[in-house]
Each structure stands twice: as C-alpha cells, then as structure tokens.
C-alpha cells in the first residue's frame, strides 16, 4: 500500500515570493473520520476519493479518481466536515512545499506540508525560517480535525 511521509508546520506569514492568488482552490469533505479517514476532494477540475490509515509522520494512503458526478453525489454527505483552502506550491531545499491558506471558518490559518521519499529524508530536513511551529502528528491540526473542530487554540 502506498504511504505518505510528510511533516507539517504552522506559518505566521507567507513569504513575499508566494502569491496567495496564484494557487489551486481546494474543497475537501470527510465521509469518515478517525485513524482511518475517507475524504473527497475537488481541486480545480480534478475529483478524488482518498483513504488514509494511521497518524503521524507516515500514513498509508490510496487515492481513487472520481467523476464529477460521483463527487457531486458524495459531497452532501460531508456536511459539517469540510475544509476550504488555497494551495500554493514552492520549492524548499529541493523538496516541494505545499502551503495551505485556509478560507471560510478557518480563515487566517496558514500551514505548510513537505512530503518526503522516506523517514530518513524527513528527519534530515531543516525547515526555513518562515516555517513556524511543527505540528506533525498533532491531531488538532489534521485536516479532518480542522474540518470538524475548527482552528485550535494555540
């Protein structure tokens, strides 16, 4: 089963070179939450069903493309468990960093995630100064918790 190895950080301010108008709009909603999560996501014209298992640095992950019609059928089932954000991409130390600028009820929250090929690379990564506190593995900052509980108190 494919796995995802990533570290997640809070961001206080976007670096000047990132333009939050140039990102991809993402809407995702959760069909099932917990250590095993099932979500649907719309990113531009792409629609995906994702299943994730586990928590922390490394998680199992499977993504299955959906038709627009299948997404539309599933979307209402996510009411009350949704996240809206703009995703910006940038390069950091040769890795791709995904910066999420949250909208709606989560407006003002900024996070950045970096995905790695293995745990060794993740451990060797030195975040740049604009990365804030690390929240990898903090359940309050998982997207499913944000979708249900909102922005945690720091």
Mark whether 102 is an active-site residue.
Answer: no
Residue 41, number of CB atoms within 10 A of its CB: 18
Catalytic residue among 5, 7, 27, 30: 30
* Residue 138, SS3 per DSSP: coil
Report how far residue 91's alpha carbon sits from residue 89's, in angstroms, rounded to the nearest whole number: 7
3-state secondary structure at position 7: strand
Question: Could you give the CA distance from residue 110 to residue 14 in angstroms, rounded to a whole number?
Answer: 8
Q: Which residues of 100-111 are buried (b: 16+ CB within 10 A; e: fewer)?
A: bbbbeebeebbb
Catalytic positions are: 30
């Amino acid at each position: 089963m494919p796995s995802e190895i990533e570290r997640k950080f809070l961001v206080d301010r976007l670096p000047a070179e990132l333009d939050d108008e140039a990102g991809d709009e993402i809407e995702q909603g959760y069909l099932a939450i917990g250590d095993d999560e099932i979500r649907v996501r719309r990113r531009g014209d792409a629609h995906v069903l994702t299943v994730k298992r586990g928590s922390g640095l490394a998680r199992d992950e499977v993504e299955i493309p959906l038709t627009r019609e299948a997404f539309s059928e599933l979307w209402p089932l996510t009411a009350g468990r949704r996240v809206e954000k703009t995703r910006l991409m940038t390069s950091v130390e040769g890795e791709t960093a995904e910066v999420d600028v949250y909208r709606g009820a989560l407006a003002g929250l900024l996070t950045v995630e970096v995905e790695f090929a293995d745990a060794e690379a993740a451990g060797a990564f030195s975040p740049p100064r604009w990365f804030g506190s690390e929240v990898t593995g903090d359940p309050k900052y998982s997207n499913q918790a944000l979708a249900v509980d909102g922005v945690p108190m720091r």
